[in-house]
């Protein structure tokens, strides 16, 4: 068995984004257990509508690419 004792002092921490599969770890972790929460914060009661087609076929005319050299 390993016993770890530590003291961590954080003056400022900025997290720009955490997604469902992200892990924010500060210090030592012997075991990281996954946790996923899904919240209906918009109060939706049914499925989302079908997405509109995307890509060149969905555009109304000829497509002129911008030069990115």
Which tokens is 48 given? 């989302």
Phi, psi of 38 (to 5 degrees): -120, 120
pLDDT in tens, the chain (69 residues): 777 777 888 888 888 877 766 777 777 666 777 777 888 888 889 988 888 777 666 666 666 777 665
Statement: the pTM of the whole predicted model exceeds 0.85: no
21 touches 34 (CB < 8 A): no
């Amino acid at each position: 068995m390993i016993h770890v004792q530590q003291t961590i002092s954080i003056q400022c921490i900025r997290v720009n984004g955490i997604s469902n599969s992200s892990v924010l770890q500060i210090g030592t972790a012997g075991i990281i257990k996954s946790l996923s929460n899904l919240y209906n914060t918009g109060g939706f009661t049914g499925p989302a509508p079908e997405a509109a087609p995307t890509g060149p076929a969905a555009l109304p005319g000829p497509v002129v690419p911008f030069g990115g050299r």
